[in-house]
Amino acid sequence: MSDVTKLIHEYLRHNKKFPHVFCAGCGHGIVLGSLVRSVHALQLPKDNVVIVAGIGCSGRMAVYVDFNTVHTAHGRALTFATGIKMANPELHVICVMGDGDALSIGGNHLIHAARRNIGVTALILNNQIYGMTGGQCSPATPQGDLSMTSPYGSLEQPFDTVELAKAAGANFVARSTSFHANQLDTLMQQAIMHPGFSVLEALTPCPTQYGRKNKFRNVVDMYTWLKKNTVKVEKLKEGDTRIPTGVFQMLDRPGLEERYSELRRSLRPEE
Ligand code: SF4
Ligand code: MG
């Protein structure tokens, strides 16, 4: 039994349940567990880790961890994260956002963080819907899927987070799901440690807002769907329409904060 599991068992001996807001079956808790396990496995001192969260169900993750945390405005998490990393380049800054947060209201910040290649890890929990606000269509809702604002099926083409981040210039781009917890742990550790801007998309089931509207009977159906409809990118063959998972881009260009430090050193060599 790992130290983290022992701590959880100890907590549950004194408390009947965790004081969190996630609905039963929500995939976000699995991503939160992966984040905690990854920081533990990497043996990062808690004081060197900063979680910057946006607004939404995923934003609550900042409230449940004992790192430095900032719960920011909707869509603006990456702007706070950029400032923190520029001022304190030695910190591991992890920005937690939902698909609405990262791809809609914060979409511009995402592409510019990637273009600048700021040394921040963007963890994007994609449940294909706005969960906390009642199930509105997001930029990740698949075309034809039902939501509160698309009762006859969405007419819009969704963003592909991976392709967007790659094209915008992120150093590290990966995707996993709540169903693939081991793969998620591995990619989370890589994303945290990779220099420059890292994007890790985690597909997570939202049984309450997305699942019910799209005729999934229960969360087991949603995990079964994730299992059947995803494939490791190395095994993807031409014509395969499943969603690829794994690492899609790994570059080693210096992060913005590194280039800034070099500039400062060249302008003020005495510092
Ligand atoms: Fe999770 Fe959806 Fe419930 Fe939010 S609304 S906590 S995303 S299941
Ligand atoms: Mg969402």
Q: What is the pLDDT of residue 203?
A: 98
* Residue given tokens 């990262």 in the structure block: 102
Ligand nearest to the CA of residue 31, numbered in listed order: 1
At residue 224's C-alpha, the angle toward residues 129 and 38, to 5°, is: 70
**Which domain range does residue 9 map to?**
4-267
Q: What is the pLDDT of residue 3?
A: 77
- What's the whole-number mean pLDDT along residues 234-243? 96
User: In this predicted model, what pLDDT tens digit does every residue of 149-198 receive, in sequence order?
Assistant: 999 999 999 999 999 999 999 999 999 999 999 999 999 999 999 999 99
CA distances from 82 to 30, 121, 260, 261 (A): 26, 10, 12, 14
Q: What is the pLDDT of residue 48?
A: 97
127 close to ligand 1 (CB < 6 Angstrom) = yes
CATH of the domain at 80: 3.40.50.970
The pLDDT mean for the chain works out to: 95
CB 249 within 8 A of CB 80: no
Residue 16 clears pLDDT 80, i.e. is over it: no
Instruction: Sort strands 120-126 and 172-177 into parallel, antiparallel or unpaired.
Output: unpaired
Residue 271 clears pLDDT 80, i.e. is over it: no
Nearest-CA residue for ligand 1 atom 1 is 26
Q: Report the number of distinct structural domains present in the chain.
A: 1
CB 188 within 8 A of CB 200: yes
Which residues does 83 contact at the CB level (< 8 Å), separation at least 6? Answer: none
Residue 261 clears pLDDT 90, i.e. is over it: yes
Q: What is the pLDDT of residue 156?
A: 97
Instruction: Sort strands 172-177 and 243-250 into parallel, antiparallel or unpaired.
Output: antiparallel
d(CA 150, CA 152): 5
Complex ipTM: 0.99
Pocket test for ligand 1, best of 209, 213, 216, 222 (most atoms within 8 A of CB): 209
Ligand nearest to the CA of residue 124, numbered in listed order: 2
Percent of the chain with pLDDT over 90: 90
